[in-house]
């Protein structure tokens, strides 16, 4: 029955993860004394789990550096760094750093290509040549260009039967039939001087580019571009591009909304966003209209006068913004910076009662906000104004602070009924070092390899 239940859970929730194994004192004794991979091998845990638990206890890691031998130093520069690293069991970056420290040139020396290596250039792709020669792609490319050898391009020669198809059908269809790339088909057709033939508009709807006829060119500028594109079976950008090349004006729809005199008076005087909001147009349309009239964007910042400051708070922000020629956000920001409250007649302020203030700090701010039907920021501001501590938070006493650093953070957290994160944060705030487990190496010491 138990196995059946586990199978059902695995089928519903995926693989069932076992519960994490608790740490023992005997296992924690190795932390900080040996390297994490070695500790993981001794106690049968994953190295990442060991490293995470060590960091939670505040124990520094042990970094073991393997000394270089004379035999390893003699190998530097005799072969490429990756080959040396693979042979001596080190990383390629470590090998390169050691070679540069000893001022040993790399192998092969920069720019020293052998005749055998020069013969390989251009016979295969540059990345493949660089991989075979154990060189960088930039050095292979520079050497090939210095020898003036063309790049290796696998090209299949064109047959007369394939050349006969060029221009008869669209390039995409020819590319699909011959199994060649579209760029290669277009390049071959242009080399032979073959022009595309005209075909029906139904083929153009599939994205095939076709030649413009004289009859189609005469229609450009006689109707809106979108309507002409649907009629000819072409894309809208293609129609607009050809009309612009011919220098013909754009034809707008009958229901095009022209700019009125009072709207033009706002352009260039107020910010574009404010003009767009007042006229009910898009921001792009306002910017295009302003640029067509040769007007620069207006200066957003305008100094406030004493008369305007006296009007703040007497009317709603939106209504006052219309009267002053400013945006509602600018009026609201200025009113708040001067400490002027909302107009009571338009925005009645809800006063705090004694019963509501008595609930502050008795529960979380979210719960109190739901009970009183107020905003979370209003609850936090009122609680801080009355110096009421947050719910579930108590200050540190002198006795509690004296315990910090005397034992592991998680042990002190269990004694004080706090979280380990809170204890660790308070200890670091006071500048106290973490407690070292029994048998662990002090901070800053290194364990030499046996």
**173 — pLDDT class (breaks 50, 70, 90):** confident
Q: Which of 246, 270, 293 is the last residue of a domain?
A: 246
Answer yes or no: is 308 within a domain.
Answer: yes
Specify whether 270 is located in the same domain as 242: no
**Does residue 1 register a pLDDT over 70?**
no
Specify whether 172 is located in the same domain as 224: yes
Q: Is 184 helix (H, G, I), strand (E, B) or coil?
A: helix
Q: Given CA atoms 366, 372, 376, 381 in this order, what sign does their dihedral have?
A: negative
**Does residue 60 register a pLDDT over 60?**
yes
Answer yes or no: is 130 within a domain.
Answer: no
Tally the domains of the chain: 3
**Does residue 207 register a pLDDT over 50?**
no
Answer yes or no: is 148 within a domain.
Answer: no
Q: In whole angstroms, give the CA distance from residue 369 to residue 359.
A: 10
Specify whether 204 is located in the same domain as 271: no
Considering the chain, what percentage of its residues have pLDDT values greater than 70? 84
Answer yes or no: is 131 within a domain.
Answer: no
Q: Which of 42-56, 241-255, 296-310 has the largest mean confidence? A: 42-56
Q: Is 223 helix (H, G, I), strand (E, B) or coil?
A: coil
**Does residue 18 register a pLDDT over 70?**
no
Average pLDDT over residues 125-132: 86
**393 — pLDDT class (breaks 50, 70, 90):** low
Specify whether 297 is located in the same domain as 374: no
Answer yes or no: is 275 within a domain.
Answer: yes
Answer yes or no: is 139 within a domain.
Answer: no
Specify whether 270 is located in the same domain as 234: no
Distance between the two ends of the chain, CA-based, in angstroms? 53
pLDDT given for residue 205 in this prediction: 42
Answer yes or no: is 320 within a domain.
Answer: yes
> For 210-235, what is each residue's pLDDT tens digit?
678 888 889 998 888 888 888 888 88
Of 152-156, 192-196, 357-361, give the lowest mean pLDDT range: 152-156
Q: Domain range for residue 363?
A: 354-385
Answer yes or no: is 346 within a domain.
Answer: no
How many Cβ atoms sit within 10 Å of the Cβ of residue 219? 14
Give whole-number Cα distances, 77 to 134, 277, 338, 420, in Å. Answer: 14, 71, 73, 52
> Contact 443/58 with Cβ under 8 angstroms?
no
Give whole-number Cα distances, 306 to 303, 309, 312, in Å. Answer: 10, 5, 10
Considering the chain, what percentage of its residues have pLDDT values greater than 90? 0
**Does residue 208 register a pLDDT over 60?**
no
Average pLDDT over residues 123-131: 85
Specify whether 238 is located in the same domain as 184: yes
> Contact 244/269 with Cβ under 8 angstroms?
no
Specify whether 322 is located in the same domain as 368: no
């Amino acid at each position: 029955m138990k196995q059946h239940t586990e199978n059902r859970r695995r089928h519903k929730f995926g693989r069932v993860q076992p519960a994490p194994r608790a740490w023992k004192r005997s296992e924690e004794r190795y932390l900080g004394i040996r390297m994490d991979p070695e500790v993981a091998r001794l106690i049968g845990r994953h190295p990442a789990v060991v490293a995470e638990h060590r960091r939670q206890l505040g124990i520094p890691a042990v970094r073991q550096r393997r000394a270089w031998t004379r035999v390893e130093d003699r190998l530097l520069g005799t072969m490429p760094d990756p080959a040396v690293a693979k042979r001596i069991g080190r990383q390629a970056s470590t090998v390169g750093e050691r070679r540069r420290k000893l001022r040993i040139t790399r192998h092969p020396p920069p720019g020293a290509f052998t005749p055998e290596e020069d013969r390989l250039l251009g016979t295969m792709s540059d990345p493949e040549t660089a991989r075979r020669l154990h060189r960088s792609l930039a050095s292979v490319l520079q050497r090939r260009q210095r020898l003036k050898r063309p790049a290796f391009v696998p090209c299949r020669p064109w047959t007369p039967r394939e050349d006969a198809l060029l221009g008869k059908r669209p390039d995409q269809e020819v590319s699909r039939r011959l199994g060649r790339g579209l760029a290669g088909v277009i390049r071959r057709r242009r080399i032979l001087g073959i022009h595309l033939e005209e075909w029906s508009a139904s083929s153009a709807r599939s994205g095939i580019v076709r030649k413009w006829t004289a009859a189609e060119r005469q229609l450009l500028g006689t109707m809106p571009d979108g309507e002409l594109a649907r009629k000819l079976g072409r894309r809208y950008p293609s129609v607009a591009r050809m009309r612009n090349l011919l220098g013909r004006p754009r034809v707008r729809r009958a229901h095009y909304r022209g700019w009125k005199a009072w709207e033009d008076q706002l352009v260039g005087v107020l910010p574009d966003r404010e003009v767009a909001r007042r006229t009910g147009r898009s921001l792009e349309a306002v910017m295009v209209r302003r640029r067509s009239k040769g007007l620069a964007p207006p200066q957003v910042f305008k100094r406030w006068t004493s008369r305007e400051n006296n009007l703040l708070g007497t009317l709603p922000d939106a209504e006052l913004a219309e009267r002053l020629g400013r945006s509602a956000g600018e009026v609201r920001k200025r009113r708040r910076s001067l400490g002027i409250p909302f107009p009571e007649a338009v925005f009645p302020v809800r006063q705090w009662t004694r019963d509501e203030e008595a609930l502050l700090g008795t529960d979380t701010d979210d719960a109190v906000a739901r009970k009183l039907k107020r905003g979370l920021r209003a609850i936090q501001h009122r609680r801080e104004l009355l110096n009421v501590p947050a719910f579930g938070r108590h200050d540190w006493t002198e006795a509690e602070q004296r315990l910090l650093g005397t034992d592991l953070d998680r042990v002190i957290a269990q004694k004080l009924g706090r979280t380990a994160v809170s204890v660790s944060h308070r200890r670091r705030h006071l500048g106290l070092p973490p407690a070292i487990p029994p048998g662990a190496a002090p901070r800053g010491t290194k364990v030499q390899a046996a």
